[in-house]
Amino acid sequence: MSAENPSRRKNGRIIYAAGGVVYSYDPDGALKLLLIHDRHKAWTLPKGHLEPGEVDEIAAVREIAEETGVACEIEHLLTRVRYPIYRRGVWRDKEVAYFLARAPYTPPTPATDEGIVVAAWVAPATALRTLTYPQVRAVVEQALSVLQP
């Protein structure tokens, strides 16, 4: 686990989040990836903001479970993605730590109270076609290069 870096908290300039490319294998042995369809009508990976004092790995596991009902185990950091967001009349950078994580193939339960409309296991090719954001697609491609060398 990485130690908390005090500069890595929501500081008015950068908002930190963590999530992951969660994978499993269906009963036939086929690789599946966990995607969500969120309140912004985007197909993406489960992720969310860090709580005060929380490290990236713990936040990723917590957020994935909260958004999808799926318990996962972190394998390693894939990458960090930074992009601008506009919130409350101010532009800020958001930085997301994405991890590769493995989970049992259990039915996901979308957190409708958090605006998650669908949580689903999908085939890698479907994930790449379905993902809304190019930077998230690049994260999944990076994960697939590890999972399907």
**Domain range annotation of the chain:** 6-147
* Residue 24, C-beta contacts closer than 8 angstroms, at least 6 positions apart: 31, 32, 34, 102, 103, 104, 105, 121
Please write the tens of the pLDDT for every residue from 86-119.
Answer: 888 889 999 999 999 999 999 999 999 999 999 9
Selected from 3.90.79.10, 3.40.640.10, 3.50.50.60, 3.30.2130.30, the CATH number assigned to the domain covering 6-147 reads: 3.90.79.10
- CA 10 to CA 52: how far, in whole Å? 9
Do residues 22 and 64 lie in contact, with contact meaning Cβ atoms separated by under 8 Å? yes
Distance CA 125, CA 99 (A): 20
Interval 43-74: pLDDT, tens: 999 999 999 999 999 999 999 999 999 999 99
